[in-house]
Amino acid sequence: MKNLRGLLGSALIAAAACAIPATAGAVQIDGAGATFPYPIYSKWFSEYNKVRSDVQINYQSIGSGGGIRQLTNQTVFFGATDGPMTNDQLVAAPGKILHFPMVLGGVVPIYNLPDTGADLNFIGTILADIFVGKITKWNDPAIAKDNPGATLPGSDITVVHRADGSGTSYIWCDYLAKVSPEYKAKVGVATAVNWPVGLGGKGNEGVAGLVKQTPGSIGYVELIYALQNKIPFGAVKNYDGNFVRASLESVSAAAAVAADKMPPDFRVSITNAPGKDVYPIASFTWILLYQNPKDKAKSKMMLDFMKWALSDGQKLCGDLGYAPLPANVATMVATALNSVK
Amino acid sequence: MITPVASGRRARERGGFRLGTGAVALLVPLLVAGIAIVLTWDSLLSVRQFGLRFWVNSTWDPVAGIFGAFPFIWGTLYSSLLALLLSTPIALGIAVFLSDLSPRPLRQPLVFLTELLAAIPSIVYGLWGIFVLVPAVRRIESLTPPWLRRLPLFEGPPLGVGLLAAGLILSVMVIPFTASVAREILKAVPANQREGAYALGATRWEAIRMALFYGRQGIMGAVMLGLGRALGETMAVTMVIGYAPRASLSLFAPQYTMAAVIANEFSEAADDLYLHALVEIGLVLFIITIVINTMSRLLIWRVGSERA
């Protein structure tokens, strides 16, 4: 008991010591937003602090919606989001807000069918039909058609979706709404939607846990989460008609193709992008900045960081399982940074 | 003899003390009023748009901007009542055993263990729920005979997560509260009541029933305390309820609670109406809690005045 108390005491002291910022006197830049890029952002911030010890960036991963709200209320210097801001949101902000893609993410379908004998292939329209409740059995001919090698049971399909508002849901819905007009009409695209069927899990871990526990279930998680936890996932048919399994390369490829038609504000959806090896359920994640912020000194430091993140920073992506921006897109974004004052 | 100086100081002290404690006591009603005002103010958009339909509408669609709280109200009340049904007999059993029947050396350890249950953080209950309770419930659900599964009460595939798991986990969380208070009540029943019963030739069971009846006002209070706990519980229920905003009678169906939807969706709600609708859910939960507490208070008072 005494030992335990001693241990607790020293743990508290250690925690207190950590709480004191290591670099007193450094300029602090505060940001808030998406949870999806949080691991790579915090890696960037700590690595960048080694290069430039006079800059300390704090990031609260409170969710894309919270990030947009805090940026609009000007309580943070920068925001971060997994889904681009809507026109209404942009108009509501007190100044012009710019979007800058930083890295890429993919979303993959995961399922629990113990004895299929092969990895499953999915078509977007069929995934949409499953998620609106039109296809309810695993041995539905529509699924069987693209999975000749797999034995599909006659059991019910249990749909598992995210219960919390999430950028992952946004990307998933964005893709399904693009390929299925019915999905677009019935469900729509947002970080949280009115799911017609199924049950919810909180976070990637919640969805993955439910799918793992429930035979006959299907859900969706971030590619990074599936890779890190070695969860098998299905391939999805892309715009060109090939079944592609998600990987860092096939997700980056989606952005490379989009570079030709990139709108100047970078608010672009790259789901269902054309290209032979492109994985269709991919998206940028953005950092949001005011074009004309009040604090020019801070703005300069933030821009320096962004340029670093778009060059040296991109090399850190792979280790953490993020798909880096293709070189041509990174250059475009770095050039666009010059418009920030 | 009290000198005038001393008595003046005493009077001042008394006045100061009264003022100080009075101010602290006033803090609570002020806080409640403050919460009510802020909840109403921050949900005005949604209150104006949906009015009373918010309480009965079953659609929760952030994309279309249509918000109704009915499935969440239903899930909260259903899971709490289920928890109450499951926990009350067990908690009363524990209380009776500890106050009347338990051998002396066993009593203190058991009291300690019961109260320990109340100290476990709800996130720990939630994790236990996911890893132990939910798979067990799924097994029970899949073993349920088909003819029973046709009843509305047991409809749906065996998912494990859902209302039954939520009710079970809530009842475990509620038991220590109800049991501790009920035990205190039974302890407070005057000894002459039991002695009188024994003197009249009552069996032990009859004497205990008499003690329970004597303390019914307090025991009802204990049960209501448990209900209050169940209504507001967020984390543990959130982890096992299954998050499906569809009101259903079935114990096997995944459902949703008010606290859970706020916890889940607040961080991503960027749209004003959406945010206000979520705050209004908080307001609804606040109102329901107040109404239920007031009703239980009235009930307890009525039982109390019957006796007088």
pLDDT digits (tens, 9 = 90+) for A277-302: 999 999 999 999 999 998 999 999 99
Asked, for residue A252, whether it belongs to a domain, the answer is: yes
Probe site for chain B from A73, A156, A164 (most B CB atoms < 10 A): A164
Considering the domain architecture, whether residues A189 and A300 belong to the same structural domain is answered as no
B171 falls within a domain: yes
C-alpha distances (whole Å) from A215 to each of A153, A210, B239 are 11, 9, 19
Residue A268 resides in a domain: no
Is pLDDT at A4 greater than 80 in this prediction? no
CATH number at residue A203: 3.40.190.10
User: How large is the average pLDDT for residues A87-103?
Assistant: 93
Residue B31 lies in a domain: no
Q: Is B73 left (phi over 0), alpha (psi -120 to 50) or beta?
A: alpha
Structural domain tally of chain B? 1
Q: Which of B62, B238, B244 sits opposite A192 (nearest CB)?
A: B62
In a domain, A296, yes or no: yes
* Nearest Cα residue to A237 out of A274, A207, A280: A280
Same domain, A26 and A70: yes
Q: Are residues A56 and A82 in the same domain?
A: yes
A82 lies in the same domain as A157: no
A267 is a domain residue: no
Q: Is residue B29 part of a domain?
A: no
Residues A200, B254: C-beta atoms closer than 8 Å: yes
Of the three residues A226, A242, A259, the one that is the final residue of a domain is: A259
A126 and A235 together in one domain? yes
Please provide the average confidence, as pLDDT, over all residues in chain A. 88
A242: amino acid identity, one letter: N
If 0-12 CB within 10 Å is exposed, 13-18 middle and 19+ buried, where does residue B156 land? middle
CATH code at B129?
Answer: 1.10.3720.10
A206 shares its domain with A146: yes
Do the domain assignments include residue A269?
Answer: no
Q: For chain B, how are helix, strand and coil distributed in percent, rounded to 5? A: 80, 0, 20
Strands annotated E in A114-202: 121-122, 158-162, 199-201
Q: Note the pLDDT tens digit of each residue in B127-177.
A: 999 889 999 999 998 888 888 888 888 988 888 899 999 999 999 999 999
Same domain, A71 and A129: no
User: Is there a single domain that holds both residue A111 and residue A254?
Assistant: yes
Contacts of A207 in chain B (CB under 8 A): none
Whole-angstrom Cα Rg for chain B: 24
β pairing state of B60-61 and B66-67: antiparallel
Check residue B55 and give its pLDDT: 94
A88 and A111 together in one domain: no
Chain B nearest-CA distance from A331, in A, is 30
As a whole-number percent, the residues of chain B with pLDDT over 90 amount to 46
| Residue A275 belongs to some domain of the structure | no
Identify the burial level of A118 via C-beta atoms within 10 angstroms of its C-beta, where 0-12 means exposed, 13-18 middle and 19 or more buried: exposed
A:B CB pairs within 8 Å = 89
Residue B64 domain boundaries: 45-307
Query: Which residues in chain A have their CB less than 8 angstroms from residue B135's CB?
Result: 213
Which residues in chain B are contacts of A189 at CB distance < 8 A? 63
Q: Is residue B37 part of a domain?
A: no
Tell me whether residue B126 is in a domain.
Answer: yes
Q: Structurally, how many domains does chain A consist of?
A: 2
Same domain, A161 and A248: yes
Domain that holds residue A207: 107-259
- State whether residue B128 sits within 8 Å of chain A by CB: no
**Judgement on whether residues A181 and A72 belong to the same structural domain of the protein:** no
Predicted-complex ipTM score: 0.77
H helix or E strand, kind and range, residue B142: helix B134-143
Cα separation of A277 and A238, whole Å? 8
A254 and A111 assigned to the same domain: yes
